Structure 1
Amino acid sequence: MNWKKWYRECSLCPRECGVNRLEGRKGFCGQTAALKVARAALHMWEEPCISGTRGSGTVFFTGCHLGCVFCQNGQISRGGSGKEISVLRLAEIFMELQDKGAHNINLVTPTHYVPQIIEALRISRKMGLHLPIVYNTGGFEKIDTLELLDGWIDIYLTDFKFMDLHLSRRYANAEGYAFYASKALEEMYHQTGKPVFDEEGMMQKGIIVRHMVMPGQSMDSRRIINYLYDNYGDNIYISLMNQYTPSGNLEKYPELKEKVKPKVYDRLIDYAIDKGVENAFIQEGETAEESFIPDFDGEGV
């Protein structure tokens, strides 16, 4: 693949900025065509079938094309923290994570670097990479970009953040989020099909859809559960997350300054059970008090 051609008039994400990232210009994601990574290490805070006992080989890419106002990873999504590396170095990182015992290679916020990632996977497979590849995304994806990944990605770990267009406009400047997230999910399912696990219970193929419950938005959460279960049943896994922690500048969003009340989260779990959902992950205890956010100190890069 000639990965450079994809950056001349970049349209990898639904924003379709059309900027020439090869010339150093930046689109909404805040990144040029220079491949930039903030951290590459074993990560224990994913779903159990992803992190397992040895950890997920997680690569955090700098930049983001979604830009949620409540982002927990603002240091890299908008702050620009990270190190510029070559495609070959990325392939070497994949191999190093495999050598460390990672259950999989986990690509976090990868959309704006998809062509280079594919080239790095091509190189690393020749080096002996055999782990499942996880595409860890906010869900705001284009079908054309996902089609490039067919045959390269084994597991889609995707968000479904909003169903209400007003919420997606207010919190992510992306009124069409639900449209793109639903179409993306169709393509992801077309590529992976039903979930497959190994003898250790680690996912080898399939989809996990994450939804982080937001303060005051339990009705939208129910709409998302309805959509996912009505369309995919237990052929996908739903991960209901209660780890929302107020962060960043929320002066214009006072409704986001509170954590989700435990009873609200518990009622949502009950709703999913009553709906018939069986394949799901939930979080217990005061997870909003724990650190799911690693130090983006360049480890492993």
Structure 2
Amino acid sequence: MNNDSAHSRLGYVRLHETGELQKRIDDALRALRQCTLCPRECGVDRTQGETGFCGVGRRAHVASFGPHFGEEDVLVGSGGSGAIFFSGCNLGCVFCQNEDISRVPDAGPEADPDGLAGAMLDLQRRGCANINLVTPSHVVPQILEALPVAVEHGLSLPIVYNCGGYDSVDTLAMLDGVVDIYMPDAKVWDSRIAAELLRAADYPERARAAIREMHRQTGDLVIEQGLAAKGLLVRHLVLPEGRAGSEHWGKWLFELSPDTWVNVMGQYHPCAQAMLFDGMDRPLTRKELCEAFAAMQRSELRRFDGKNRLFRLCNEPY
């Protein structure tokens, strides 16, 4: 497929051509004036530089951007996933592996619409497979503002919304037809654990509502020529002592769709303030990972990222 045909079939291009994208931008900017973008609903006027939990005001800050080869194979291709890492975060995970970005909202330069569009276009020129927006939940208006500029200069890559799952359904509605691939975390199932480890007691219910909306918009993950083209990919980081609630998530995701694509992730190790919490102060064991994977399999989910690798790992003696 040539660039012109790829460009024309993308949802955000069509929304720009019809004027709908500008309406979404206007709605999103209004939400910044008494910020209700995420479930925190801090109510601050970010258009005037006020900040809430995420610490970000009117402009997004981009900590870094470039081709990323550490994502799932279906996102990487030969040129990498075009990752744009936004500073700040609407969660307070005590085990955050990117706290130098998430806890420092002004890490990296401030990005206006031209600057953010320029980053997207640079990633396209470098041969990336997609535009991978990392931790975008608190900067949706700023992302939407950049798209008309990027479209006018020929952006023709799928957009990946790579988030922690703590998203507002109303904000996600602004992204309907804009985002091609949703990649949320499904972090923890229990509200008490969420309050302790994420600083968000309502995370489980909010994440389930958000993931349901993401699936409504894009459906199950569609793979074309080895790469994700559209749909939902759920990441589930297994936590020590079963704190993530893997079995519950597996059953719920199966009810959402047996064909939900799930990445059961075993790379947990204590970062940030995790050493202060009993049970979180050590790396995940292989036994814990394999027990979580087995629980997910019992749910009868059919599509696991890296399934053969997990099978091999878990069939070896502990």
Q: Give CA-to-partner distance per residue, 1:86-112, whole Å, 9 cap, x none.
A: 111101111110000000000011111
Structural mapping, 1:246-261, within 5 Å: 246-261=270-285
Partner of 2:76: 51
Gaps of 5+ in 1: 286-301
Indicate if the aligned counterparts of 1:104 and 1:134 stay in contact, CA closer than 8 A.
yes
Indicate if the aligned counterparts of 1:35 and 1:87 stay in contact, CA closer than 8 A.
no
Stretch of structure 1 that moved more, 14-23 or 250-259: 250-259
Rounded to whole Å, the distance in 2 between the matches of 1:11 and 1:275 is 35
Shift of 1:268: 2.2
**2:276 maps to 1:272:** no
2:64 is paired with a residue whose SS is strand
Partner of 1:262: 286
Letter in 2 for 1:148: M
Q: Give CA-to-partner distance per residue, 1:186-230, whole Å, 9 cap, x none.
A: 11111102322222x100001011110001126711111111112
Partner of 1:172: 198
Shift of 1:114: 0.4
Partner of 1:243: 267
Q: More relative contact order in 1 or in 2 (CA 8 Å, sep 6+)?
A: 1
When you count helix as a share of all residues, which structure comes out higher?
A: 2
Indicate if the aligned counterparts of 1:24 and 1:33 stay in contact, CA closer than 8 A.
yes
Partner of 2:90: 65
Gaps of 5+ in 2: 1-24, 311-318
- What RMSD over aligned residues (CA atoms) do the two structures have, in Å? 1.6
Q: Provide the TM-score with structure 1 as the length reference.
A: 0.90
Rounded to whole Å, the distance in 2 between the matches of 1:265 and 1:229 is 19
**2:153 maps to 1:127:** yes
- How many residues get paired? 283
**2:181 maps to 1:137:** no
Percent identity reads 39
**2:58 maps to 1:36:** no
Rounded to whole Å, the distance in 2 between the matches of 1:244 and 1:219 is 11
Shift of 1:62: 0.5
Letter in 2 for 1:187: E
Q: Provide the TM-score with structure 2 as the length reference.
A: 0.85
Structural mapping, 1:93-242, within 5 Å: 93-199=119-225, 201-217=226-242, 220-234=245-259, 236-242=260-266
Shift of 1:282: 4.1
Structural mapping, 1:85-96, within 5 Å: 85-96=111-122
Q: 2:110 pairs with 68, 84, 88, which one?
A: 84
Letter in 2 for 1:143: V
Shift of 1:144: 0.6
Rounded to whole Å, the distance in 1 between the matches of 2:130 and 2:201 is 33
Indicate if the aligned counterparts of 1:218 and 1:268 stay in contact, CA closer than 8 A.
no
Q: Segments of 4+ in structure 1 off by > 6 A?
A: none
Indicate if the aligned counterparts of 1:241 and 1:282 stay in contact, CA closer than 8 A.
no
Rounded to whole Å, the distance in 1 between the matches of 2:188 and 2:297 is 20
Rounded to whole Å, the distance in 2 between the matches of 1:219 and 1:85 is 35
Shift of 1:181: 0.7
Stretch of structure 1 that moved more, 255-264 or 273-282: 273-282
1:66 is paired with a residue whose SS is coil
Stretch of structure 1 that moved more, 74-83 or 268-277: 268-277
Rounded to whole Å, the distance in 2 between the matches of 1:190 and 1:71 is 29
Rounded to whole Å, the distance in 2 between the matches of 1:114 and 1:218 is 30
